[in-house]
Amino acid sequence: MTMEARFRSAALLAWSLFPLAAAAGPQVHPATAASAASPPPVVAPDPATAASTPAPPAIDDPVAQAIYARVQQMAPIQGSPISRQDAALGKALADFYMQRHYTAAWTDDSNVQQLLGGLASVDADGLLPEDYHLSELKALAESPDRASATPEKKADFDMAASSAYITALVQLARGKVDPVRLDPTWNFDAAAIDPQQGMSMLQTSVDERSVDQAFAMARPQNPLYAKLRDALAQLRTTAAQGGWPGVPEGPTLKPGMKDARVEALRARMVAGGYLDPTLAHGHHFDNALADAVKRFQADQYLDADGSVGAGTQASLNVPVQDRIGQVRANLERARWLLHSLQGTFVVVDVAGYKISFYRDGNPVWKSRVQVGKPYRSTPIFRSQITYVTFNPTWTVPPTILKNDVLPKIRSNPSYLANNRIRVLDSAGNVVAASSVNWANPRGITLRQDAGPGNSLGQVVIRFPNSFAVYLHDTPHQELFSRAKRDTSSGCIRVEHPLDLVELLFNDPDKFSRQAIDERIATKKTQNVTLPTAVPVLLAYWTVDIADDGKLSYKPDIYDRDGPLVAALDKPQPLRAP
């Protein structure tokens, strides 16, 4: 493909990325419109704001004349049959050059070298430098014929470099992969890029020879992102050195045993930073090694019993390349989400089985949760917590009724009475359970009374969504002690939910812990609206990173990492205009 053809394709990609108007709210995109590697769409401006046809550049600048001709050929602004949104997005590159009066942007060698270095640096972010045609741009930049090239060739290089620059900066800020393509229910807003500030930054970075600084500032500025980049670099170093030592398969290794495989286990613990290197040798499974194994198990979300059974051995032998992919997936999620973590909000770490409450951007409370089983997964989305139900009743959802409750009723006629579940007809009237044909029940609803044993416990924290999902208490407190807590039917069971309720109301006079306990003691079902709605984010991360940069790997309970890494590895979907 010629540079001109590549540029035209890259320019369309840049148009599809660079926002010319601020998004007014969540965007809805058809799940089948493009591949998962398609960049996040943006909102088109009103046609009334479109710029008039720009004046051509001075005739004594042949490169500017060539750039102007390219823009006129390729920017679908006037009279094009494509959509209004695509036309608005296509203005990105045109606006960049129009503000420069179509003069070339990449005539300074320092800027070119900074651009090439910046494009290469995205490898450390888990992105692909060749998505931005780095090798081809580098070859052209270093060509001895560059200075004597025709104005048209110089224009092609300049505009291809600008397209790569814009695309890389936006993808560093917002991500390469459109999350909606992987999860149609995704409703998080993309990181906002002010159109005027963005264009000003582009021009300033070129004029002031600060292109490398623009790359640095485009990345999420949250410290978590920098730690993930560092972790990726460390994993790649480990991979270059041959990866982690493996532990041979065999029977469970337990503390106190002597086994030849213990030597390999010690080597693996040393390589992971769990065991002092002076203890790298020996066949005896002593207490120091058992403690190291427990720390490893805790970091892998395994039951920390110190024994090396099948689950622990599988985690020990995960290839380092798989962990590299896992970190790359979470760097992309960071580009999607970190800008959302501001102010006061609740975040549910679904894969980590945790919930946290943040005030003014700082964590002030956290607890354990139980989330949906893999076949009844907890959805990933954003909403606003609006009210709380004290002493809730529980209406059995149709899926749970069919798959869980009906079999229990059929095998135990006392099940309903034992669990204080009433049968309601279509009009909401209570009917006798004995009057229902449980082999083929029709037109009934099951509702569990509030009180002891209620499946929702003492409180429900509610937020609008189409999944009938909420945060709630649970009688199944024993399950919180498990390392792996994907045990619910989709809702989020919260340990110590009344502490969260107190934080949500943030009213020591009316909703102190004592006042909350008194409401529950009435045994009356009450819905109480929060004085201020609080954002809640149900998010999916498969790594944790400690303050010292040490990684913990979560189980990918819903198998989301693989499709995301595949989309990251897919070349840019370039399309000719």
Same domain, 179 and 116: yes
Residue 303: half-sphere exposure toward Cβ, Cα within 13 Å: 12
Same domain, 362 and 400: no
Residue 14 lies in a domain: yes
Residue 313 lies in a domain: no
Residue written as tokens 């937020």? 463
For residue 342, what pLDDT is reported? Answer: 87
H helix or E strand, kind and range, residue 461: strand 459-462
- What tens digit of pLDDT does each residue of 540-552 get? 999 999 888 889 9
The end-to-end CA distance of the chain, in Å, is: 14
Supply 60's token pair. Answer: 């004594």
Residue 273 lies in a domain: no
Give the domain-ending residue among 220, 242, 267. 220
Supply 252's token pair. Answer: 């469970």
Query: Measured in whole angstroms, how far is the alpha carbon of residue 437 from the centre of its chain?
Result: 46
Range of the domain at 402: 396-449
Same domain, 18 and 68: yes
Judge whether 177 and 35 are in contact, CB under 8 Å.
no
Enter the DSSP assignment of 402: I
H helix or E strand, kind and range, residue 381: strand 381-390
Residue 386: strand pairing partners? none
Q: HEC string of 278-319?
A: HHCCCCECCHHHHHHHHHHHHHCCCCCCCCECHHHHHHHCCC
Residue 341 lies in a domain: no
Q: Which 3 state secondary structure label does DSSP give 177?
A: coil
Same domain, 417 and 524: no
Q: Which 3 state secondary structure label does DSSP give 51?
A: coil
Same domain, 516 and 483: yes
C-alpha–C-alpha distance, residues 203 and 207, integer Å? 6
For residue 437, what pLDDT is reported? Answer: 94
Same domain, 401 and 535: no
CATH code: domain of residue 534? 2.40.440.10
Judge whether 380 and 350 are in contact, CB under 8 Å.
yes
Enter the DSSP assignment of 203: H
Residue 561 lies in a domain: no
For residue 13, what pLDDT is reported? Answer: 38
Residue written as tokens 């002593």? 286
H helix or E strand, kind and range, residue 345: strand 345-349
For residue 83, what pLDDT is reported? Answer: 41
- What tens digit of pLDDT does each residue of 105-135 get? 999 999 999 999 999 999 999 999 999 999 9
Give the domain-ending residue among 220, 250, 283. 220
Give the domain-ending residue among 406, 421, 449. 449
Judge whether 414 and 483 are in contact, CB under 8 Å.
no
Instruction: Fill in the amino acid letter for 43.
Output: V
For residue 197, what pLDDT is reported? Answer: 86
Residue 517 lies in a domain: yes
Same domain, 58 and 169: yes
C-alpha–C-alpha distance, residues 507 and 101, integer Å? 58
Same domain, 439 and 489: no
For residue 550, what pLDDT is reported? Answer: 87
Same domain, 201 and 212: yes
Same domain, 57 and 174: yes
Low-confidence stretches of the chain (pLDDT beneath 70): 1-54, 74-90, 573-577
Residue 342 lies in a domain: no
Closest of 64, 72, 150 to residue 101, by C-alpha: 64
Same domain, 122 and 171: yes
Judge whether 225 and 219 are in contact, CB under 8 Å.
yes
Is the backbone of residue 456 left (phi > 0), alpha (psi -120 to 50) or beta? alpha
Residue 226 lies in a domain: no
Which residue pairs from 425-431 have beta carbons closer than 8 angstroms and sit at least 24 positions apart in sequence?
none
H helix or E strand, kind and range, residue 493: strand 492-494
Same domain, 58 and 80: yes
Domain count for the chain: 3
332 Cβ neighbours under 8 A, 6+ residues apart: 126, 175, 176, 177, 564, 568
